[in-house]
Amino acid sequence: MKRRLVAILAADIVGYSRLMSADEGGTISRQKACLEAIIEPTIATHGGRVVKRMGDGLLAEFESVVEAVQCAVEMQKALAESEVAFPDDRSIRYRVGINLGDVVIDGEDILGDGVNVAARLEGLAEPGGICVSDIVCQSVRGKLDIAFDDLGEIAVKNIPRPVHAFRVGPPTTPTPAAVSDLLPGKPAVAVLPFENLSGDPDQEYFSDGLSEDIITLLSAWRSFPVVARNSSFAFKKQARDIRAVARELAARYVIEGSVRKMGRHLRVTAQLIDAQSGHHIWARKFDCVLDEIFEIQDEITQQIVSTVEPQMAKAELRKTESRRAGSLTAWDLFLRGRAHLHLFTPVDNEHARNLFDRAIALDSQYADAFAGISLAYQRDMLLEAAADRAEWEEKALAAARCAVTLDSESSFAHYALSGAHIWANQHAAAIAEARLAVQLNPSNIAAWLALGNRLDITGDPEGLPLLQKTLQRNPRDPYNYIYLGQLGRAYINVRDYEKALTHLREAVRLAPDFANNYHVLAICLGHLGRVEEAREAVRRCEALRPGFIAKRSHWNIYLDPAANLHLVEGLRKAGPLIG
């Protein structure tokens, strides 16, 4: 038997049987196009050889493991871009596994454990993702600008020993200066959503609300960064490898816990973990009645703070007594409203407003509830669900101004007021409020992103890099499709269409049903001269929201009329679908 050491790449289409069942002819045609236009040329470019096709998959070998990984990254990127016009349930996506091992040569075929491990790694990859073995990771680390997530040792079918697997992540990037300047060299803290052990799914809002309140309280200590709520909540209901989670969130410390609520009785557990060592620094269990929940929050926060930053002065902790002097029922209603607000639909926006109104009826000084009402009106306008646009603008402004009046030290309130000002085209006030929001809480990622967007709209050159850098600090936010759309528009404004296209395709991939991003994608493709793709983006936008393109045919998002004309011109290049 002849043997040789090679890098083996195994690839397979996700959900092939389902795709064939839905559209056999179309699936076969698109699969062939993917192979002939993307996969096989990319493999050849990196010195690889297609060993064989296997129905919905293929096997390839490379002399260089670095070339094999680079090939997989480029291949997956190109495949994602080629399928962007199709919804998730119809798009062709591959899983890829890569191993470096000794193989047996059998004519044109290769056999052996090295091949089998590559196939098992492919099965561990996410749709559109890449999974590699430990030896591959060690061989290419430092040679390619990519990150690796350690998945640990995993037992796989028909392989006698566990496989140490790594997931290939996005390109590594330095910490953004705009954020890190305010948070120099301090260890970040991530609060994972507390687990609901009440046996009642309707109590989920309470455990989530407790976790979010702890994030807010920790953020008030401005001496160290706290991971944004939306990024840490992306790990809700997932099996957690604490070290992998911490690496992805760039956190040194992780807080996790659970809540069991039975009537007015509570059991709360909380533990602080050093993610570098994996060791528990402290863990506590609290048994109490609901009336004592604020004291528990404070105690958990104080213990975390005293561990992470023991030299901080107590004066830095936000004074919460005034907010908490009101009704416990008002606080409970606020938690319920905030849970609806995070769902980001017109129906949930209405539910949120009703719950915030009820909280204010019980506690007229509840600043956060007023801020929540303002944000609900703003999200209606973003989703074009406002019953009366002018009335919604006025109500958003009134509620946010009331929030700031009641609590001038609240970053959340100033963030809400910044948004209300921008919807009312009051740009200078919007920027001033966004700056206040980030000064009051440098961990408020949403406020940083809002500031970047406001600056870009007014033509300030700091806006685009601020959006870019802040997004890098917030990789798991479920609303990143909105921010990526804003970043794509900003790159169009500076005529960097290729970078704009990269961000807009990712925005569409993250939220294929969000019409706004197809509109901006069409503008970008129009300027690139890719007319057919631009027209397809227009069709997708109109299918999701009929009449949307006509409304945006004279889009006045920027203060500079020339910038707005540039956007309209890109849309017109999409062809006669635009009136």
pLDDT of residue 318: 37
Range of the domain at 409: 319-441
Same domain (yes/no): 154, 7: yes
Same domain (yes/no): 44, 87: yes
Q: For residues 532 and 534, what is the distance between their CA atoms, to the nearest angstrom?
A: 5
Tally of structural domains, the chain: 4
Phi, psi (degrees; rounded to nearest 5) at 337: -65, -40
Same domain (yes/no): 36, 156: yes
Please give the structure tokens belonging to residue 13.
């289409």
pLDDT, tens digit, 9 for 90 and up, residues 363-389 = 999 999 999 999 999 999 988 899 999
| Sequence-ordered list of residues with C-beta below 8 angstroms from that of 546, at least 6 positions apart, any chain | none
Q: Decide if 464 is inside a domain.
A: no
pLDDT of residue 142: 78
pLDDT of residue 334: 87
The domain that holds 571 is classified in CATH as: 1.25.40.10
Last residue of a domain, one of 441, 471, 495: 441
Same domain (yes/no): 86, 107: yes
- Rounded average pLDDT per 10-residue block, the chain, 579 residues: 91 90 84 89 93 92 94 90 72 93 92 92 91 92 83 82 85 38 54 84 79 72 66 72 76 83 82 76 78 73 56 34 56 85 91 94 92 96 90 95 90 93 91 88 83 93 89 78 94 95 94 93 95 92 89 84 93 67
Cα-to-chain-centroid distance, residue 52: 37
pLDDT, tens digit, 9 for 90 and up, residues 479-530 = 889 999 999 999 999 999 999 999 999 999 999 999 999 999 999 999 999 9
**How many Å is the Cα radius of gyration of the chain?**
26
Q: Decide if 303 is inside a domain.
A: yes
Q: Decide if 470 is inside a domain.
A: no
Angle at 313 between CA 310 and CA 316, to 5 degrees: 115
Last residue of a domain, one of 126, 144, 168: 168
Same domain (yes/no): 300, 344: no
pLDDT of residue 307: 55
Same domain (yes/no): 329, 420: yes
Q: For residues 214 and 289, what is the distance between their CA atoms, to the nearest angstrom?
A: 18
pLDDT of residue 305: 55
Q: Decide if 446 is inside a domain.
A: no
pLDDT of residue 308: 52
Same domain (yes/no): 17, 163: yes
Same domain (yes/no): 186, 290: yes
Q: Decide if 449 is inside a domain.
A: no
| Sequence-ordered list of residues with C-beta below 8 angstroms from that of 307, at least 6 positions apart, any chain | 253, 272, 281, 282
Same domain (yes/no): 268, 341: no
Q: Decide if 448 is inside a domain.
A: no
Q: For residues 131 and 123, what is the distance between their CA atoms, to the nearest angstrom?
A: 9
pLDDT of residue 292: 75
Same domain (yes/no): 33, 51: yes
pLDDT of residue 186: 53
Q: Decide if 458 is inside a domain.
A: no
pLDDT of residue 176: 35
pTM exceeds 0.75:
no
Q: For residues 520 and 244, what is the distance between their CA atoms, to the nearest angstrom?
A: 34
Last residue of a domain, one of 267, 288, 318: 318
The domain that holds 288 is classified in CATH as: 3.40.50.10070
Return the closest-CA partner of residue 521 out of 537, 536, 506.
Answer: 537
Same domain (yes/no): 219, 83: no
Q: Decide if 516 is inside a domain.
A: yes
Query: Residue length, the chain?
Result: 579
Given the structure tokens 């991530």, which residue do they identify?
Answer: 190
pLDDT of residue 259: 86
| Sequence-ordered list of residues with C-beta below 8 angstroms from that of 143, at least 6 positions apart, any chain | 66
Same domain (yes/no): 492, 561: yes
